[in-house]
Structure 1
C-alpha cells in the first residue's frame, strides 16, 4: 500500500474511532432534557456539552431528507476510496482522510441509530458560546473533521495549487512532481 494511501486510511480510521468513542460517551453521560444552565461546560462557558440528535445536515439543514444525506455520504466515501490509489500528494491524503473519516463517522449514525436504516439521527454534542446551539450549531468529531478537511482541501487546491497527483497547477514548469 502506498504511503499516502496508508496515511489517508490511518487518518480516516483515527477519526472514525474518535467519533465513535466520543458519541458513545456523549449518549451515556448527557441528557437531552437537561436545562441549559445545568449542562456541562468547559473553558468558562466557551464550550458546552449539549446532546442533540440531528436528522439533518450541517446547521440542521435538510432535516426531512435524512436518507438522501446518507446516500450522498455513501457517494463521497466510494469516490474517495476510488481515487485513493491515484494520490501522489501528502496534502491531499490528509484532506481526504479527514473527509473520509468524518463522512463514515456520521454515516454510521445514519445507518445504525434510530429511527432506522439510512434515516438515523447523527449524535451532536459540542455547542460553542452557549448551550443547545444557541449561538452556533452543535457538532461532533466527524463534523469537525469534514469541515477541517474541506477547508484544507480548498487551501491545498486553490492557494497552494497542488493537484491530487502531487503536481502544482500554478507553475507546471517547476516542481512538476514535487509533493509539498
Structure 2
C-alpha cells in the first residue's frame, strides 16, 4: 500500500510536468514569444535551464548535464529508500512522490534536450520576476517542503 501511494504521486507529478511542457512548448509554441495567461501574475515564457532552480550553477557542458542528472537520481533513490524503510504517513508518501516525480521529469528533459524546459513566470505588485520554472520545480519544492514539515520524528 505504501509503495503504491508513493508511486501514484510520483507518476501523477511526472505526467503533469511532461504533459504541461509538451503542450506549452511544442503545441502553444511559447518559444516564439510570451503568452499572457493572467498578466502579470501568470505569463508563459520560454526558458532553457542548464543549471538548477533559478538558473543557479549553469553549466553548458555535458559533464554538468550528466552530473545534475546523477544528483537528481541519487536524491530520488535516497528519498525512496528512506520512505520505504520508515513508517511514513500517507501525507509524507505523497510528498516524497511529488519530489521524485518532479525530479524525474527534469531528468527526462536533461536526457532529451540537454536542459530543462521552463515556461512558468509569475510576477506581482510591481515586481517583474525574471525567472521561469516548470511544474516539476513546483512538485520538487512542495515535496521537499512537505517532507520537512510533516516528518513526525523528533530529533533525539
Q: Same fold (TM over 0.5)?
A: yes
Q: Where does residue 13 of structure 2 map in the other structure? A: 15
Q: Is the 8 A contact 2:30 2:119 kept in 1?
A: no
TM score, norm. by length of structure 2: 0.84
RMSD across aligned C-alpha pairs, in angstroms? Answer: 2.0
Counterpart CA distance in 1 for 2:70 and 2:20 is: 24
List per-residue Cα deviations over 1:25-54 (Å, max 9, x = no partner): 1221224342xxxx2222242100001111
Matched residue, 1:140: 134
State whether structure 2 residue 111 is matched by structure 1 residue 111. yes
Aligned-pair CA distance for 1:136: 4.9
Q: Assess if the C-alpha contact under 8 Å between 2:30 and 2:44 holds in 1.
A: no
Point out the structure with the larger helix share. 2
Q: Which has the higher contact order (CA 8 A, sep 6+)?
A: 2
**Contact 1:32 / 1:51 at 8 angstroms: preserved in 2?**
yes
SS at match of 1:45: coil
TM-score, structure 1 length as denominator?
A: 0.74
Q: Which residue of 2 aligns with 1:60?
A: 55
- Please say which structure displays the higher CA radius of gyration: 1
**Equivalenced residues, count:** 147
Displacement of 1:150 after TM fit? 1.2
Q: Does 1:155 align with 2:140?
A: no
Gaps of 5+ in 2: none
Q: Which ranges in structure 1 are unaligned for 5 or more consecutive residues?
A: 114-119, 164-168, 173-180
